[in-house]
Amino acid sequence: MLKICFTAFNAYPVIAPESGGAIGGVETRAWMLARALAAQPETEVSFVVRHHERPKSLTVDGVRLVPVVDPLFRIRESVATMASRSPRFPWIRLKGFAPSLLWQLPLVGFDFLKRRLLRRTIDYRAPMEPIASTPADVYATFGVVNMTSASVIASAHARGKRAVLFLGSDSDLDERFTPDSTYVSPYGDPAPLCAWILEKADVIVAQTPWQQATLRERFGRESTVIPNPIDHETWDRGLENPLPDTETCGLARYVLWVGRAEGVHKRPQLMVEVARRCPKVDFLMVLNPREPVLEAQIRRDAPPNLRIVPQVPFPRMPGLFAKAAALVSTSSLEGFPNVFLQSAISRVPIASLVVAEDFLNRTGAGRCFSQDLDALCGYVRELWQTSVPLEAARETVLRENSLTARVADVRSVLANAAQFPEA
């Protein structure tokens, strides 16, 4: 029996869509792999996840949940989108303002002072509960720009086990991640800690050949490339149930944008500009909450042909793609976007401003425009008027990203890391 412990603190909205909350690609990938591995023979999977209350069920789809109950974590996340720490009094720097700060800041400030007085500040390079007390043969974590990954590695090593790091984005390989750097990521991750994660992980899994080559060049580490998987059978069943017009702002057809309200990497503000330049095209933006100030700006600036919904539960995402004429990506940086796999499987062409040029050229799933917004808008107008056959792109994704094949690769890597003989 191979015992695996996954940690993805923010995955609870994927596990329990009714709980609400933003769903990211890293969390979707982690939970998909955990479920698929739990269905394999001689495999037992635990999954450490955070929620503001104890989940009602601790076993979901064969995976044993190990909850971290943190009543204030969503409040801290909300404050973090509008404020950052400062070395000087009052030890905080506001990046924006929302009325909720009036009650959230005192709560978070009191909690911070209590931790300082009780000497409970978190050392991410030390073992962390309940990870450290979860028995497993191997421990898996996702992302370098994720301070919890350091705790997973430390917890595994404290138990005499190995830790496997799954890269989650190209930003995980920032060349500024060095032991002596003062750089801090846009999400608050200090460069020395990110460098420590890349150094101490026993095994690293990359999403793309670019990540593999960059990891070797910048950090002297080898890795195994395992493309992101997609559960096409479940997805195809969902395609048969398009969302009703009442859930898509009355639109029966639209060009789609999906992502977080986050201005550095996802850049929804550029989608507003695309909609302005394509006034005869209907757009639907699925804007997951992240930065309240930016979200308010997007809603304020959106032209009439751009409709916005806050989020769509993951099981209903195929029904969203079933009515899409195209997918637009304005991201500046990704690892490999799961939404591109979902789009190709759904036979929906992709217009990307920056990312995944190799994938789009190789599969024929769409086009990348190297930051040329005018050219992207022209392609969107073209896709709105004409349909593009994407059977070849779909077949390529089925061949290269099938969950069945990829989960076998992941299990092999984890079993080898655990020095566990394959069944």
CA distance 88 to 373: 41
Specify the pTM: 0.86
At 376-409, the pLDDT tens digits run 999 999 999 998 999 999 999 999 999 999 999 9
Percentage, residues of the chain above pLDDT 90: 72
Mean pLDDT of 55-80: 80
As a CATH number, domain 2-71+122-228+403-417 is: 3.40.50.2000
pLDDT at site 87? 46
pLDDT at site 363? 96
Top-confidence residue, 402 or 80? 402
The confidence band for 81, taking pLDDT boundaries of 50, 70 and 90, is low
At 220-249, the pLDDT tens digits run 999 999 999 999 999 999 999 899 888 899
CA distance 406 to 226: 7
CATH 3.40.50.2000 domain range(s) in the chain: 2-71+122-228+403-417, 232-400
pLDDT at site 170? 92
Q: Classify domain 232-400 at the CATH superfamily level.
A: Glycogen Phosphorylase B; (3.40.50.2000)
Mean pLDDT of 311-329: 93
